[in-house]
Amino acid sequence: MKLKDILNEIEISRGITVEVVGDQIIVNGDKLERLTLTYAEGTGNLYRGYLFAGGKQINLSGGSSGLKEFLNAVNKEPGTNLIEFMKKYGVKVTSDDFDVS
């Protein structure tokens, strides 16, 4: 691994490594395929974000803090449309409600 590659890799909470390489987002060594946002059912509050890469599910830290940390790692500018931003990297964004009771 070259020094340039090490400098581009960022480790966020939960030991998740994130790197933007060309037109791909690499998470823990695998290409990110999907970002799913789950909301606490009936509240509209973000419960957690989930990353899907290499056939594995990777859970971000809970609430909006984990998602914000991930988006900072991939250099998403505030105010930029999330779906359009992720589409540039071939990442599908989905959402779902989660029963937290």
What mean pLDDT comes out for the span 67-71? Answer: 96
Quick: pLDDT tens for 83-95.
999 999 999 999 9
Q: Bridge-partner residues for 17, per DSSP?
A: 11
Beta strands at 30-40 and 24-27: parallel, antiparallel or unpaired: antiparallel
Quick: pLDDT tens for 11-62.
999 999 999 999 999 999 999 999 999 998 888 889 999 999 999 999 999 9
Q: Letter for the amino acid at 15?
A: G
